[in-house]
Every structure is written in C-alpha cells, then in structure tokens.
Amino acid sequence: MKQLFTVKDTMNLSEFFQGGISRIQGDLYDPRSDQHVLDFFTRPADYKRKYAYGYGGFVDRGHEYSGDPTIPDMQESYTITTGRDEPLPPELQFIYDSLFQRLCTIGREAVALILQNEFLAASGLSIDDFEYNMQINYFYPYAASDLEAGRQFRVGEHTDLGLFTIMPFGVVYDFEALVGDGWIAPATGDPRPVIFPGTLAQFLSKGNIPALSHRVRLSDNTSVRLSCPFAIIPKPTAQLLPLGIEEEGITGKQFIDGLLSSHLSNDIKY
C-alpha cells in the first residue's frame, strides 16, 4: 500500500465544511479484505447472530437504516467499534488488524483538525470525546421479491450520524450525493478515501456545516456489494454543546439514542 500523508496536508477543508465530499491521499484498499468479509456474511444466520450486540456487532437483513421506513435496506452489517470490547468474529480479525486500525489513526488526525473550525471549536470537544466505528456492509443481490419489486435503491436517502464519515475505498458507480437541488454521482474510479460531514457536525455547528445526504442506487441487480464506512461518533458521556450554548446541550448517549430510534427499525423483517 502507498504511504499515507497527514490529513492536514491532503484534505480539502473548505469543501468539507460546506457539506461536500473531500478526498484524502492514500490507498487503503487491500483485495484480501473482500474474501474475509464474504467468509463471515456467507455463514449461516444462526452463526452470525451470535455476534449481535444491540445496535453494534451484527445486524441482520430486514432492518431499515435510512430513508423509507416501509422498505428495509438491502444489507446486513457488522460494526467494529472502540466503544465496546466484544468478541470479534474470527473471519473479520484481519480487517480489524489492518483497515480498522489504519482508519483509527486517520480519524484521530481528522478530528483534531476539524475541531479547529470556528463553528466547532466552541463546543469544547477534543479527540478524547469520540469513539470510532466501522460498519462492514454486505449488500445482497436483488431478490425480486414482492417486497423489493420496483425498488431503485439499495439504501435510501440518509445522513450519517457521526461527526464525519470516511469511505476508505473512495466512491463507486452507485453512490449518489445530494448537492444543491440535485443528486450527483461523484467522480468514480479514484481509490483515494473520501470524507464528508455527518449529523453531529451539523448539530454542533447549528447547521453551518450541513451533513451530506447520500444514497446507494440499485444499479446492478445481481451482484454482491461490500462497503466499510468509518464513522466518528461521540462517547455516551460526552457533553455536546451546539456553538457552545449550554442550554441546548445534550449527552452523546442522548444524541445517538435519538437518531437510532428514528433510523433503525427493529420491527421490519424479511
């Protein structure tokens, strides 16, 4: 892999703070990762469910993460996190030791840099107030079932809940972002990681840094799709003060619980 430069030297901050996508120099893709992900997600459901830990760990298909609460997104996922010390599926140990650890290093650099922004500095937060999550997503092939008939998206429109998200392998053909009044497919074929603001950045800045709305189009009905978005979320005890206003402050737990209750429905099942 190529040597990564520092985030400060390679990230377009002005684009990020406008709610857009920035790129980070470096190549994080290791083709061996794909097989490790498939080794886990192609195991029997009962095996995978042994690694379900509430909102973390394994989340089965049939959950709705984002846009339309009547149509579950076409994915299963496993979340690796620094926020808990739960047993990791042995199939995913390689990714934990390689990609996840490298993203944690990049994430810490990015947090320190982003918190210097005028709209975020007033919050008084530091890198010690955050946890690091990587959601390993397995998008299964289109099933053409009655529930999925006519659908156009693997994942509906949504914003990510953290301070920011890093997509370690860049963007691909079916990723779309809402820019202004229209949806665009950012330039693809560029393997550099991309980074964009999430709902926490929007909350702390009181809207001055908008979270990026994005979705995943169902462009290929037959293939499996893998992704590993990496998110920086607040620790449960962190005090979140938008623009430093104490009267509007909430804890990290309150922030996460509120978003998860509206974006993740445990009642919808295939």
**DSSP-assigned states of every residue in 93-126:** HHHIIIIIHHHHHHHHHHHHHHTTSHHHHTT---
Query: Is the Cβ–Cβ distance between 260 and 227 less than 8 Å?
Result: no
pLDDT of 174 > 50? The answer is yes
Convert the pLDDT of each residue in 43-55 to its tens digit.
999 999 999 987 6
Query: Is the Cβ–Cβ distance between 83 and 235 less than 8 Å?
Result: yes
β-strands 52-53, 56-59 pairing = antiparallel
From CA 260, how far away is CA 154, in angstroms rounded? Answer: 19
Q: Which helix (H) or strand (E) holds 56?
A: strand 56-59
Convert the pLDDT of each residue in 93-134 to its tens digit.
999 999 999 999 999 999 999 999 999 999 999 999 999 999
Instruction: List domains and CATH numbers for the chain.
Output: 8-263 (2.60.120.330)
| Residue type present at position 262 | S
- What value does the mean pLDDT of the chain take? 86
Residue 248 pLDDT level (bands cut at 50, 70, 90): very high
Q: Which helix (H) or strand (E) holds 194?
A: strand 194-197
Query: Is the Cβ–Cβ distance between 104 and 86 less than 8 Å?
Result: no
More confident call, 183 vs 7: 183
From CA 62, how far away is CA 146, in angstroms rounded? Answer: 14
Cα 98 to the center of its chain, rounded Å: 18
